[in-house]
Chain A
Amino acid sequence: MSDITTEATDLSTTVPREDPTPFGWLNTADHKRIGRLFIGTSLMFLGLGLILDLLVRLDLTDDSDFVALDADTFGQLFVFGRESLVFLFLIPVFLGLAIYLVPLQVGASNLAFPRAGAAAFWGWLVSAGVFVGAYAGNGGPYGGWDDGVDLYMLALGGMVVSLLIGYIAVATTVLTERSPGMFLDRAAPFAWSTLVTASMLVVSLPVLLGQLVILYVDHRYGHVFLGGNFGIWGRIDWVVKTPTMFIYLVPVLGVAAEVVIATARRRVLEPLAMYFTIGLVGLFGFGAWMNFSITNEGSDLGDGFEGVVLVALYGGAALGATALVALLGFALFQSRKSLKLGGLNTSVLGVLGAGKFVVAAALYGLLGAGVDWLEIAGRGNDGNPYLRDTTWATGQQSILIYGAGLLGLVAALHWWAPKIWGRTLNDLLGKLTLLLIAVGATLASLGPALSGLLYDQPDLAYLDPAQTSLYAEAVDGGGAEAMAWLGTAGLLVVIAGALLFMLNLVVSLVLRNGTKADSDPWDGAAPEWMLDSPPRPGILDALPDLDSGTPLLDMAEAGGDEQDAAEEVKV
């Protein structure tokens, strides 16, 4: 463990004190508190998303009857579950991590716009409340209450705007608040991945806002041309599907790079390649333009072109993810002699697993897009559904959300829990959590994927979602139910893993049984490890001027060089 201490830079400014009472959380302008609010709240919403997904999957285990739901609620909960996992968990939890860490990593005293960060959280929370309330009142797509559908659209728009405000605040911090001398290509990998995510979200999610306005106007005034309550989801589901979903997982790649560089105590072979590959995955997540269901555009040639582009998109994402995992893996391999087996802690195993799941998801997409394209270009459309319209798509989503997202989050929180909350999480429980989530995510994705590939089981019948659950007539074989059971079993294992993780958090942090951490329990490389664990809220973080995102690694390398030089002299 390092023993680095820093002298506080002379702060010739007065420092406003945060309110130490619980009310301080309501009016906080400290990025550390805002980050923790995002993380804690998102983890609570994770439970909601998992339960909804479970209910939907249970219904799919019987191809001719409803099991847990009914014709009225199936469609609503199908959509609610997908959106909860993305907008109530995946995006905000990594935004929370970014709000907490990025100012520390670039040497800034706070977010560029701290109150905007706070407004992002409260706006997201209030919108989430209206969102859940709309569904509870029989609103949302496929709902029976028209006003509830309108409220749903407004709430979704509110959540998107709030999350964008948060990401813009973080991106501005990275661009304008860096320490003098810190070139962006020497910034911490997580800070860079956050900039990539922010820029891609800024270009993707507002397209949804424009569509929501049109949907809202048509739905509110006459249901004229968009099919009313049943015509909404088909036009906006691209935000919870690939390739857009890759954008939400870019922060996981940043986490992976941070953990591996610190653990290996060395930089990757080609640092610029690391930044490039992270950016590549983000770039190929831009799918907002592919919403052909809005206009039913595209002749066969258009479909053929779309097929080629999809192959290229997924290929690019696979290339980027594979290259990054290879770079990081090689760095670990180079350090194998100095790396003890015990050095492979939960975080290291978690990020390697998460990275592999991102690669797997990209390969999923590549395979699916390739098969679809061959259907059109090679043999012509023989009437079989596209693979991407089957439960193959559900398999891909599962591997991204649970395999990459949840696994990456477990790794990230294990890594940064000492800094955020001042205590380490239990490593044994963490490894068990990783095992459960990895196995569960694999099964949860394999079941639907095989069902789509082998039996052409449709993903969602947009105009009559109840038919999704009553799919006996639509499948090509009798094994789809077994595949549905496989997927459900996998999800149950994921839920067990998530519960174990929550237990770990409660026991280690809330009950304070976790080991009290010093400032740098992992021999980290990034600037945040130069501060106390945790840094006191409300106090300007006393970081020295930094010229790189890995100052501790720089110091260790400089110390090693001096030692080598001294030994040479002795010789």
Chain B
Amino acid sequence: MTETTDVVALAPRPRSQFVATGFAVAAGSMMMAGAIGWYMARRHQVSSPGLHGNWVPEGVAIPTPQLDYALLTLLLSVVTAHWALYASRRSDRGNTWLAIATTIFLGLAFINMVMYSLNRMDLEIGSGEWANLAFAVTGLSLALAVVGLFYMGLMALRSLGGNMGRVGSAPLGAAVFFWDFVALAWAATWYAVYVVK
């Protein structure tokens, strides 16, 4: 049951989704800080000069080129995501959809590459402290990527429904903002776990 008066088009909301996504990004950053901070602190303790410890187990070959390509793929997906936003703000439906589809494809390729790299390391989870920490931090980063892709997909649905133009692209803008954060989170993980090691 509803009370109906004149039908009016509703004005868009002032950046609510963007602000909420911003809060979520702040929360996600702190989550990664807790995990990467723990990793770096333990690494520092175990492998600092005074302790002469081994941090990365011997025999573990980290597939550096593959992980570098994964990062590049992700960075490229950030570019395509911003392309999607740019096109959406200009109500260019064709380019918007092409860019979103490319972003999602590149995102899936990134996840695939990271999973492949983890398999290539031939490291079993539970085999040691470094393994567990590396898997946990990497898994957290991948989980953020999955959430980011899903968010992008949902906002793509809204674009399909006509949310375009300078103001109507706010939801897609929020999703792109989150995707930027996902890239940053992975970059930090890649550097801490697979470069600094």
CB neighbours of B135 from chain A (8 A): 217, 221
| Contact between chains at B41 and A294 (CB < 8 Å) | yes
| Contact between chains at B32 and A14 (CB < 8 Å) | no
| Contact between chains at A221 and B132 (CB < 8 Å) | yes
| Contact between chains at A210 and B132 (CB < 8 Å) | no
Interface residues of B in 118-138 (CB under 8 A from A): 125-129, 131-133, 135-137
Is residue B28 within 8 Å, beta carbon to beta carbon, of the partner chain? yes
- Shortest Cβ gap from A277 to chain B (Å): 24
From B5-13, B62-70, B96-104, B158-166, give the one contacting chain A.
Answer: B5-13
CB neighbours of B26 from chain A (8 A): 202-203
- Shortest Cβ gap from A286 to chain B (Å): 10
- Specify which of B3, B10, B24 is in contact with A15 (CB 8 Å cutoff): B3
Is residue B27 within 8 Å, beta carbon to beta carbon, of the partner chain? yes
Provide the bound-state CA to CA distance between A217 and B140, in Å. Answer: 11
From B14-22, B82-90, B176-184, give the one contacting chain A.
Answer: B14-22
Is residue B60 within 8 Å, beta carbon to beta carbon, of the partner chain? no
Provide the bound-state CA to CA distance between A112 and B16, in Å. Answer: 7
| Interface magnitude class on chain B | 35 or more
In this complex, how many residues of chain A approach chain B with their Cβ under 8 Å: the count is 43
| Contact between chains at A295 and B38 (CB < 8 Å) | yes
From A172-180, A384-392, A409-417, give the one contacting chain B.
Answer: A172-180
- Specify which of A176, A208, A296 is in contact with B34 (CB 8 Å cutoff): A208
Is residue A432 within 8 Å, beta carbon to beta carbon, of the partner chain? no
| Contact between chains at A14 and B2 (CB < 8 Å) | yes
From A30-38, A163-171, A497-505, A507-515, give the one contacting chain B.
Answer: A163-171
Is residue B196 within 8 Å, beta carbon to beta carbon, of the partner chain? no
- Shortest Cβ gap from B175 to chain A (Å): 15
Is residue A214 within 8 Å, beta carbon to beta carbon, of the partner chain? yes
- Shortest Cβ gap from B100 to chain A (Å): 23
- Shortest Cβ gap from A15 to chain B (Å): 6
- Specify which of A12, A13, A207, A218 is in contact with B132 (CB 8 Å cutoff): A218
Is residue A288 within 8 Å, beta carbon to beta carbon, of the partner chain? yes
Closest to B128 in A: A224
Is residue A222 within 8 Å, beta carbon to beta carbon, of the partner chain? yes
| Contact between chains at B27 and A202 (CB < 8 Å) | yes
CB neighbours of B38 from chain A (8 A): 210-211, 214, 294-295
| Contact between chains at A213 and B136 (CB < 8 Å) | yes
CB neighbours of A224 from chain B (8 A): 126-129, 131-132
| Contact between chains at B31 and A214 (CB < 8 Å) | no
CB neighbours of B19 from chain A (8 A): 171-172, 175-176
Indicate with 1 or 0, residue by residue over A348-381, a CB within 8 angstroms of chain B CB atoms: 0000000000000000000000000000000000
| Contact between chains at A12 and B8 (CB < 8 Å) | yes
| Contact between chains at B126 and A221 (CB < 8 Å) | yes
Provide the bound-state CA to CA distance between A295 and B15, in Å. Answer: 41
- Shortest Cβ gap from A396 to chain B (Å): 24
Interface residues of B in 131-152 (CB under 8 A from A): 131-133, 135-137, 139-140
Is residue A206 within 8 Å, beta carbon to beta carbon, of the partner chain? yes
CB neighbours of B41 from chain A (8 A): 294-295, 297
Is residue A204 within 8 Å, beta carbon to beta carbon, of the partner chain? yes
- Shortest Cβ gap from A154 to chain B (Å): 13
Residues of A at the B interface (CB closer than 8 Å) are 11-17, 112-113, 116, 164, 168-169, 171-172, 175-177, 198, 202-211, 213-214, 216-218, 221-222, 224-225, 288, 294-297
Q: What 3 A-B pairs come out closest when comparing CB atoms?
A: A210-B34, A222-B126, A221-B126
Known: A214-B137, A225-B128. 15 other contacts (CB 8 A): A14-B3, A15-B2, A113-B20, A202-B30, A203-B27, A205-B27, A207-B31, A208-B34, A210-B31, A210-B37, A217-B135, A221-B132, A224-B132, A288-B34, A294-B38
What are 29 contact pairs spanning A and B, CB under 8 A? A13-B5, A14-B3, A116-B20, A164-B27, A168-B20, A168-B23, A177-B16, A202-B23, A202-B27, A203-B26, A203-B30, A206-B27, A206-B28, A206-B31, A210-B34, A210-B36, A211-B35, A213-B35, A214-B133, A214-B137, A216-B136, A221-B132, A222-B125, A222-B127, A224-B132, A294-B38, A294-B41, A295-B38, A295-B41
